[in-house]
Chains A and B, each alone.
Chain A
C-alpha cells in the first residue's frame, strides 16, 4: 500500500540521509582500496561495503523493507539461485580431478 502524503514527507528525510551515507560509503570504498590489503581481504571488504550500500538502496529507495510476501519471497528465491550461480561453477573448477584444470588457463 502506498504511504500517504505525510508519510512521504517523513520518507524524504530518510532519502536524504541515505544519500549522504551512500556518498560516504563510496568515498570509504575508494579510500580502502588504496590501502593494499591481501586480495581475499580486499574482496571481502569491498563486497561488504557494496552490500551495505545496496541494502540501503533496496530497503529505502525501493521500499523493500515494507514489501509484500510475494515480492519478498521471489527475491529470497532469486538470491539463493544467484548464490548458486556465482559459487558452484567456480567450485567445480577448483575441486579438480587433474592436478591443474587444463581448461582454465
Chain B
C-alpha cells in the first residue's frame, strides 16, 4: 500500500494537494493534524476560561462579600447584585471551573490535541484509521462546549452542583443542570468515537518494523488512555440519562423516599398528586457509583498522556534511553486496569461496611505502585545524563516532583481512617490540583514547546519560555501548597465565603489572600506564553525536520508535515530511544535511519 504523499517536498506545498476550499481545509478538515490543532487551540481557550472562573472565585474567597472590582456589574443581579457574588453564582463558578478544566480543557488538549497530532506521526501512519469519525469527534466536542457555556445564560444560571452533580441536589437544581447533562452526552460521545479511532489506528497503522515494544512511550500512554475512555465513559452516559429522566420525566432513580427539602416534602414536577411526595424508591448513592466509575479512570486519562509527553522530552533532553522501558509499559497497562476497581475511595464516607471499604483501600494502595514505578523510571533516566535545559525540559523536569507531591498527598485520602478527617477539605483540592495543574498542565506546556516546531516549522522563543516556566512554577506552588495547610486545619471545600462562619477556620482564612495574589501572578505569567505562541507562528525562527535531534518517527516528516505526512514510506529499524549509542558518530540514532552496512 502506498503511504507516500503524492507530491515531493514538504514544507509549504499546499499548492500541490487537492485544492480544497478553505472551509474543507481548515474548518471541516479530515486531516488529523488540522483536527489536532483545532482540539489544542479550543482546549487551550477553555483552560484560559476556566482560569478566569477560578480568579473570580479566588477573589470572593480572599475578600468575601466585597464587590468584584471593575467587572462586578457585568454579571447581572441574578448572579452578583451590586457586584457582590451570590452564593449561587459562586457554586456555578465552582461547578463550571471543574467541568470545563477536566472535560473541555485538559482531556481535549492532552488526548484530542496531542494524541491526534503526534500519535499518527509517531507510528508512521498517513492519518487516523477513520478520518471522518475524527472530524466528527471534534465537532461533537465543540457542540458540547457550546451547550456547557450557554448554560450560564439560562434562568437560574449555570450548573451549580459541583462537577460531580450529586443528587438529590442536582435533580432539583435549576435548568443549568439539564444543560450540563446534555453537554456531557455530547462530550462523552465525542470521547467514545475518538477512543475507537485511537485504538484502531495504533493497532492497525503502525509502520513496517514498528513492533509494540518499539513504540514511543507516548503512544503506549495514549493507547491505555483510549481504553480507559472507551470502557469507563459509558456508565456516566447512562447515569446522565437517568438524571435527565429524574429531572424531566419525574422518575426517582436517585431520589429516596420521603425526601424533604427546606422542611417540605418534595412535590411538584410531573405525575404527582397534590401534596404527595414526588420522590420515592431511588438511591442517591447509585449516582455516585456510576459517576465515580467513570471519574476515577478519568483522572488517569488526565495524567497518562502527560506522563507520555514528559517521557518523550526527558529521553530527548538527557540524550539517553529511558530507564526501564519495559517497566514503564507494563506499569501503564497495569495502572489502566487497576483504575477501574478503585472508584469507591471517593465514597468512603457514604456508610459502606468495613469489608468492601478494605477492598477499595487495598486496590487504591496497589494502584500507587505502578505510578511510583513510572515516576522512578523517569527519575532514574536523569542519572548520568547530559541534560539540555531547554524550555520543554524545564517543564518536564518540574512535572516529576510536582506529580510526586500530588501522588503522595493522595495516600492519606485513599486510606479510610485518614480520609475521615481530610474528605471534602481543601487538602483534597490541593492534592488533585498538584497532580493536574503543576503536573499535567506543565506537561502539556512542555508538549507545546516541544512539538510546536513540528506543527508550524518554527520554534518558540526560548527566553519567553523560560520566563513562563519560572514564573508559573513559583506561583503555582504558592497557590496550591497552602491548601494542604487549610485542609489539615479542617477547612471545608465548596463554601462560598471560604468557611468564615466556622471558628476553626479563623486562623486559616488569611491564606486565601496569599493564594489570591499567587493566582494573579500565575495568570500574569501566562501572558508570555500566549504572546509567544501566536507571535512564533508568524515570526518564530525557522527549523528543519528534526530541530531537537530526536529519535522518534515524527521527526522524519517535514515541519510541518504535508498531506499524508511522510514523503517516503517510513520504516523502523530499532527502538524509540537510541541515544548515545556507543560507536555512533552522533549522540542519537533515529528509529527511521537504516542500518549502516
Contact = CB atoms under 8 A, between A and B. Distances in A.
Interface of A: 70, 74, 77-78, 81, 84-85, 88-89, 91-98, 101-105
A54 to B, nearest CB: 19
B293 A103 contact: no
A75 to B, nearest CB: 11
Nearest to B292: A89
A58 B289 CA distance: 29
A103 B284 contact: yes
A89 B351 contact: no
Contacts of B256: 103-105
- Among A95, A96, A102, A103, max chain B CB count under 10 A is at A103
Given A77-B227, A91-B356, A84 B351 contact: no
A78 B203 contact: no
B384 interface: no
Interface string B189-225: 0000000000000010000000000000000000000
B547 interface: no
Given A85-B235, A105-B258, A96 B352 contact: yes
Given A77-B227, A78-B231, A81-B231, A88 B344 contact: yes
Nearest to B230: A74
Contacts of A77: 227, 231, 337
29 contacts: A70-B203, A74-B227, A77-B227, A78-B231, A84-B341, A85-B235, A85-B293, A88-B344, A89-B285, A89-B289, A92-B344, A92-B350, A92-B353, A93-B283, A93-B352, A94-B353, A95-B356, A96-B351, A97-B351, A97-B352, A97-B353, A101-B351, A103-B283, A103-B350, A103-B351, A104-B256, A104-B283, A105-B256, A105-B257
B295 to A, nearest CB: 14
Contacts, number: 61
A91 B355 CA distance: 9
Given A95-B354, A105-B258, 16 more contacts: A70-B203, A77-B337, A78-B231, A88-B344, A88-B356, A91-B356, A92-B347, A92-B350, A93-B285, A95-B356, A96-B351, A96-B353, A97-B354, A98-B351, A103-B256, A103-B283
A77 B297 CA distance: 14
A9 B285 CA distance: 52
Interface string B243-267: 0000000000000111000000000
Contacts of A92: 285, 289, 344, 347, 350, 352-353, 356
Contacts of B340: 81, 84
Interface of B: 203, 227, 231-232, 235, 256-258, 281, 283-286, 289, 293, 337, 340-341, 344, 347, 350-356
3 shortest interchain CB distances as A-B pairs: A95-B353, A89-B289, A92-B352
B128 to A, nearest CB: 17
Contacts of A96: 351-353
A96 to B, nearest CB: 5
A81 to B, nearest CB: 5
A61 B522 CA distance: 59
Contacts of A95: 352-356
Nearest to A102: B351
A53 to B, nearest CB: 23
B251 to A, nearest CB: 16
A26 B29 CA distance: 49
Nearest to B337: A77
